[in-house]
């Protein structure tokens, strides 16, 4: 179960990173760590979708929510650390 959640998060982050690179190239924006910011937004959107879903994704919803939250916390800590 943990492996499938890890694979799900890795796939989600891969999509986010691809989208971020594509969007950044098109916009010409030079935001500091845009991929990390986009990953946070995508993970928050995934959390919202998981929370509002009518089913529990075969028992994986609770663990996926926990892992998303953990990833968001770590990414925000990384951004805060970089500001120092």
Take residue 42 and report the two structure tokens written for it.
């995508």
Residues 6+ apart with CB under 8 A from 46: 12, 64, 68
Kindly report which listed range (2-11, 13-22, 39-48) carries the lowest average pLDDT score: 13-22
Q: Does the pTM exceed 0.85?
A: no
Q: What pLDDT is recorded for position 6? A: 72
Distances (CA, A) of 50 to 38, 57, 65: 18, 8, 7
Name the average pLDDT for the chain.
84
Residues 19-60: tens digit of each pLDDT: 666 665 555 556 789 999 999 999 999 999 999 999 999 999
């Amino acid at each position: 179960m943990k492996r499938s959640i890890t694979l799900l998060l890795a796939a989600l982050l891969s999509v986010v990173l691809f989208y971020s690179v594509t969007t950044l190239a098109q916009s010409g924006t030079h935001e500091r760590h845009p991929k990390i910011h986009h990953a946070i937004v995508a993970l928050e959107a995934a959390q919202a979708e998981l929370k509002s879903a009518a089913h529990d994704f075969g028992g994986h919803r609770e663990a996926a929510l926990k892992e998303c939250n953990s990833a968001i916390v770590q990414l925000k800590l990384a951004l805060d650390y970089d500001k120092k």
